Amino acid sequence: MMFIHVNNIRLYAFHGCLPEEAKIGSEYRVDVRVKADLSKSSESDELSDTVDYVDLTAIVKQEMAVRSKLLEHVANRIAQRVIAEHPRVEHCWLRVAKITPPIEADVQDVAVEWEISR
């Protein structure tokens, strides 16, 4: 099996439970890794035979634009779409991190990691 990684997708979104988070938003970082059989594309050199990382990034951007209260919710939506829209993907792992969350502590980010398999 082979893996495709799309790392450090940086976005601005409006997720969170606090009303202020819906208004002012926050910075986010998303990492995606998919496991797929890429043997055909490694021989053919054709984009149609692989999992296009441009499309994976588009899914992340589209789902991050839909407000959720919880990071778990948005992570699940992203993973479910990746599996549903890419039949070659056998396993999807992702990490969704909120940069400088609104908590009274000096933290770099808070994050959820999500994994699903076909």
By annotation, the residues acting in catalysis are: 98
Q: What is the identity of the amino acid at 80?
A: Q
Q: Where are the alpha helices (DSSP H) in 5-52?
A: 19-24, 39-44
Tokens of 32: 């995606």
CB neighbours of residue 79 within 10 Å = 24
The secondary element (H helix, E strand) that includes residue 81 is helix 71-85
Beta-carbon contacts of 51 under 8 Å, excluding residues fewer than 6 positions away, are 4, 34, 36, 38, 86, 88, 89
